[in-house]
Amino acid sequence: MPAFITFGRVLFAVLFIVSGAFKLLDIAATTQMITDKVVIPGLLTAYTTQLEGMSGMPMPQMLAIAVGALEVICGLMIALNFGARFFAILLIFFVIVATFYGHDFWNQTGAEQKNNMIHALKNLSLVGALFVIAGIGRGRRSDPSYTDV
């Protein structure tokens, strides 16, 4: 059974590794998607202006790079079972935020609403799987019923 868990974890992580790589390989499209969907709160404007000045990049571009890197790094760490619990918890927060901003079906109608609701439900199942990974953590448990499903 531990081999099944390892194999499942690796297959699951491929989604984040590939998705993050695609985001990093097409920063312009990712930046545009973030610009269209994410509104930076006015309370953070002073900080984002400072970051933009220091980096020479607009905030959506910095977020695009950060999101792509986060997905690749977390996916790799989960696949390699190195800090899997920590990186799964990071991805839980990321997927929830990405779902809220990217698949706002409650603001849509018709086919677009149904499509985004399906994506939101898919992301909900990803959050469930991430909770399982966070619960398993690293290594074997002494309880023999732990892997019985």
Examine the pLDDT at 15 and tell me if it is beyond 90.
Answer: yes
pLDDT in tens, 73-83: 999 999 999 99
- Distance between CA atoms of 128 and 141, rounded to whole angstroms? 20
Per the prediction, the chain carries an average pLDDT of: 89
pLDDT in tens, 73-128: 999 999 999 999 999 999 999 999 999 988 888 888 889 889 989 999 999 999 99
How many helices (H) and strands (E) in the chain? 6, 0
Residue 138 in 3-state DSSP? Answer: coil
Cα R_g (the chain), whole angstroms:
18
Residue 130 in 3-state DSSP? Answer: helix
pTM score, whole prediction: 0.85
By C-alpha distance, which of 88, 82, 76 is closest to 132?
A: 88
Whether 65 and 24 have beta carbons less than 8 Å apart is answered as: yes
